[in-house]
Structure 1
């Protein structure tokens, strides 16, 4: 099992918190893609095949700088 720390993800994102958030969002997107693939072709899901966890894939991509992301700054309303 490979271990990727939040500090390693921070190298490309600037902070541990942002690195983990980017990886979590990527993992959700990867999960949705995988779910859609299985709905289209149920034979793709081989139960004997060992697959890497989506969260591990996502945080490794963030660590390696392969994750493209951009921040959207939201304005707070003046009054609620």
Structure 2
């Protein structure tokens, strides 16, 4: 019998956030649509400027937040998984 992996429950947050790139020197605003213990769904203005690895925070302070990687992209919407 196949085992199905149940996705963590995501909660809708619709909250402003910050994506930090380049070791904390380039912070870009984003909108966090939903959030779970393992990842989040984000909307960014310029998806081409977002690399596959970043830090997501709810303040502009690069020392806060969680490291994540992009697992899917659809237009301006990104799905990220928290790492580390």
Q: TM-score, normalised by structure 1?
A: 0.21
Question: Which has a greater percent of helix?
Answer: 1
Higher relative contact order (CA 8 A, sep 6+): 1
Which has the greater radius of gyration? 1
Q: TM-score, normalised by structure 2?
A: 0.21
